[in-house]
Amino acid sequence: MKKDVAEELGLRPGQSIPLLQELHILTREGKINQDSRRKLKQVYHLYQFIEKLLLEIPSEGGHPTLADHGAGKSYLGFILYDLYFKPRGQGHIYGIETRAELVEKSRELAHRLGFDRMSFLHLSAAEAADAAQLPEKIDVVTALHACDTATDDAIAFGLRKHAGFMVLVPCCQAEVASVLREHKALALSRTPLAELWRHPLHTRELGSQLTNVLRCLYLEAMGYQVTVTELVGWEHSMKNELILARHTGQRKRAAAERLRAILGEFGIQEMEARRFPELGSDSN
């Protein structure tokens, strides 16, 4: 493909055209529709964040390693490999996905393209934490649009694997909202703050916001520096919150205390054991 055509399509230098065609981002004629352009923009934008993190990891001893949870068709993993891992000849990407047919298709595509340092595992994030196919340490954990508690499972995986970085784009958070609904009558009698989730739409929206706030506090309590930003403009996707976590080793007691205080304020203390099991009292 000519350089000016690639630039017009918004492709990166050195981007594999056969890969984009196999992913059905480009047609066989080299065309791209608006939906694919939007999807590609999201992946490229996320790639920019991840590339900066990968550059901090020494490329020796098989590193960097990256585990992509809820990989789906592995758009992110393939593009990361094509643009970063392949030209450097170092590192390994693990795509973790529960749908067997997508895992098999990704394996076949990686084989056809000669992407030898990509593995695709038919596992959940929870199962992957103890899977023998994965190394003891993973440098970067990603979860793009991982639905509901799958993001929490990816965080638990990252903690177990001593991840240096986690890159999370949560989606469809429903668990906190369901717990809020369950205790709504009691909460309304206890505090006027319950008006924030009295109406069903507000319950869903507040539940989503609260979920991500709790995740950020948990990561800080477990020794990560957390940044929250937008993935892309809201006109491209409503599932747009990007959580970047960098391991510092400095566990924050204040974050753990605030997390527990929020759980108590909203009457959802039951979630601590289920979603924040590693929350300790030995934070700084």
- pLDDT of 236 reads 44
**pLDDT of residue 7 exceeding 80:** no
pLDDT average, residue stretch 100-119: 96
- pLDDT of 36 reads 81
**Least trusted range by pLDDT, from 28-42, 79-93, 163-177, 224-238:** 224-238
Calculate the alpha carbon distances from 105 to 67, 78, 102, 112 in Å.
18, 12, 5, 11
End-to-end CA distance of the chain: 55
pLDDT average, residue stretch 97-101: 95
- pLDDT of 237 reads 46
Instruction: For residue 17, name the pLDDT band (cuts at 50, 70, 90).
Output: confident
**pLDDT of residue 83 exceeding 80:** yes
- pLDDT of 2 reads 47
- pLDDT of 234 reads 44
- pLDDT of 59 reads 84
User: What is the secondary structure of the chain as a DSSP string?
Assistant: --HHHHHHHTPPTT--HHHHHHTTSS-TTS---HHHHHHHHHHHHHHHHHHHHHTTS---TT--EEEEET-TT-HHHHHHIIIIIHHHT--EEEEEES-HHHHHHHHHHHHHHT-TTEEEEE--HHHHTT-TTS-S--SEEEEEEEETTHHHHHHHHHHHTT-SEEEEEEE---HHHHHHHHTHHHHHHH-GGGGGGSSHHHHHHHHHHHHHHHHHHHHHHTTEEEEEEESS-TTT-S--EEEEEEE-S---HHHHHHHHHHHHHTT-TTHHHHH-TT--S---
Q: Which bin fits 65, alpha (ψ -120 to 50), beta or left (φ > 0)?
A: beta
User: Domains of the chain (ranges plus CATH)?
Assistant: 60-275 (3.40.50.150)
- pLDDT of 84 reads 95
**pLDDT of residue 251 exceeding 70:** yes
Select the highest-mean-pLDDT range: 139-143, 264-268, 275-279: 139-143
Mean pLDDT of the chain: 88
pLDDT average, residue stretch 145-149: 78
Interval 192-244: pLDDT, tens: 989 999 999 999 999 999 999 999 999 999 999 999 998 865 444 446 789 99
The better pLDDT of the pair 244, 30 is held by: 244
pTM: 0.90
**pLDDT of residue 81 exceeding 60:** yes
pLDDT average, residue stretch 132-157: 91
- pLDDT of 235 reads 44
**pLDDT of residue 280 exceeding 80:** no
